[in-house]
């Protein structure tokens, strides 16, 4: 079996593959203060609770955009799974031609998403990832990573209102039911939710014009993907585990 890990600023998403079948997946908070033993025992317990044998793991592959957490995570893998993890970093085979000015600047999560998206949906492709940041990635019909955008995430924006506006409260991210707010909380929820829906639709439309392809698939991923996709006019597919699939494919391309 293969263990894949996508380490983001808010969550670490993990999946276990038996061949091409995803047999289990979990999400845990990213915490740079956790020791390797805390992380390792958490992973061991997840396997135990799901009646999976951790000794059946043959390889581990990790994509990370959080360098401070990697020391503990890598040591946890070595100590508790007894394997040397494969890292998604420059030099690894992906099958994607990265057209960024500096390919090393492209986040590992964005590369994993692009690989998974090309395998499942083909190209051209626009991927919208609703994580701590909201990212937009453009992939051509030739599987070229053309670039994209990075925007403040939904929760970051909601927290910024609370932290920087003295009379505004902290709110839950949920649909208010109507665009025109009838009170402060309603108005804030409406601004966050429908503001992001409008942002997504406008940016995707502009990306399509610049990419100048004939037909596109727009895929949303990340924790709030389905939430925004329900209101969006441009999102075609929702795949919350796109990065895990991408990591599996990258592993297949690199295994000896």
Q: Are 70 and 7 in contact (CB under 8 A)?
A: yes
- Which of the following is catalytic: 59, 109, 159, 236? 109
Name the token pair of 74.
């890598």
Distance CA 28, CA 11 (A): 6
A 10 A CB-CB count for 141 gives: 15
Distance CA 127, CA 137 (A): 5
In a domain, 40, yes or no: yes
pLDDT at 256: 64
| Same-domain status, 187 and 104 | yes
Q: Are 153 and 136 in contact (CB under 8 A)?
A: no
Q: Where does a domain end: 87, 113, 141?
A: 87
The overall pTM is greater than 0.75: yes
Q: Are 216 and 199 in contact (CB under 8 A)?
A: no
| Same-domain status, 133 and 57 | no
The alpha carbons of the chain give a radius of gyration, in whole angstroms, of: 19
In a domain, 138, yes or no: yes
| Same-domain status, 43 and 127 | no
Q: Residue 179 sits in a domain of what CATH number?
A: 3.30.420.40
| Same-domain status, 140 and 242 | yes
| Same-domain status, 49 and 130 | no
In a domain, 253, yes or no: no
In a domain, 153, yes or no: yes
Q: Are 88 and 248 in contact (CB under 8 A)?
A: no
In a domain, 219, yes or no: yes
Nearest to 131 by CA among 27, 206, 210: 27
- What range defines the domain where residue 202 resides? 97-247
| Same-domain status, 68 and 101 | no
pLDDT at 213: 87
Q: Where does a domain end: 59, 87, 115?
A: 87
A 10 A CB-CB count for 168 gives: 16
| Same-domain status, 73 and 104 | no
| Same-domain status, 108 and 66 | no
| Same-domain status, 59 and 80 | yes
pLDDT at 255: 83
Domain count along the chain: 2
In a domain, 256, yes or no: no
Q: Where does a domain end: 38, 55, 87?
A: 87
| Same-domain status, 119 and 204 | yes
Distance CA 64, CA 74 (A): 11
Tell me which H or E stretch contains 59. Answer: strand 59-64
| Same-domain status, 105 and 205 | yes
In a domain, 6, yes or no: yes
3-state SS, residue 131: coil
Distance CA 202, CA 195 (A): 11
Weakly modelled stretches of the chain, pLDDT under 70: 256
* Degrees to nearest 5, angle at CA 60 with 59 and 64: 160
Distance CA 145, CA 168 (A): 40
Tell me which H or E stretch contains 243. Answer: helix 242-254
Q: Is 109 a catalytic residue?
A: yes
In a domain, 92, yes or no: no
Give the tens place of pLDDT for each residue, 94-107.
999 999 999 999 99
| Same-domain status, 121 and 80 | no
């Amino acid at each position: 079996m293969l263990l894949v890990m996508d380490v983001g600023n808010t969550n670490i998403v993990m999946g276990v593959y038996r061949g091409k079948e995803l047999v289990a997946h979990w999400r845990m908070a990213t915490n740079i203060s956790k020791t390797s033993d805390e992380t390792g025992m958490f992973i061991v317990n997840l396997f135990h609770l799901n009646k999976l044998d951790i000794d059946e793991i043959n390889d581990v592959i990790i994509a990370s955009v959080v360098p401070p957490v990697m020391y503990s995570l890598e040591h946890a893998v070595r100590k508790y799974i007894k394997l040397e993890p494969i890292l998604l970093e420059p030099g690894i085979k992906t099958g994607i031609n990265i057209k960024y000015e500096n390919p090393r600047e492209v986040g590992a999560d964005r590369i994993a998403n692009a690989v998974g998206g090309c395998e499942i949906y083909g190209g051209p492709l626009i991927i919208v990832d609703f994580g701590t940041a909201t990212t937009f990635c453009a992939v051509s019909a030739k599987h070229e990573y053309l670039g994209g955008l990075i925007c403040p995430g939904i929760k970051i924006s909601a927290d910024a209102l609370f932290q920087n506006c003295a009379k505004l409260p902290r709110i839950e991210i949920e649909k208010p039911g109507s665009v025109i707010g009838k009170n402060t909380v309603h108005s804030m929820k409406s601004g966050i939710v429908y503001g992001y829906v409008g942002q997504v639709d406008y940016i995707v439309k502009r990306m399509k014009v610049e990419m100048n392809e004939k037909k596109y698939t727009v895929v949303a991923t990340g924790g709030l993907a389905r939430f925004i996709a329900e209101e969006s006019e441009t999102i075609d597919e929702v795949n919350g585990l796109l990065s895990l699939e991408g990591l599996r494919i990258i592993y297949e391309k690199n295994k000896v």
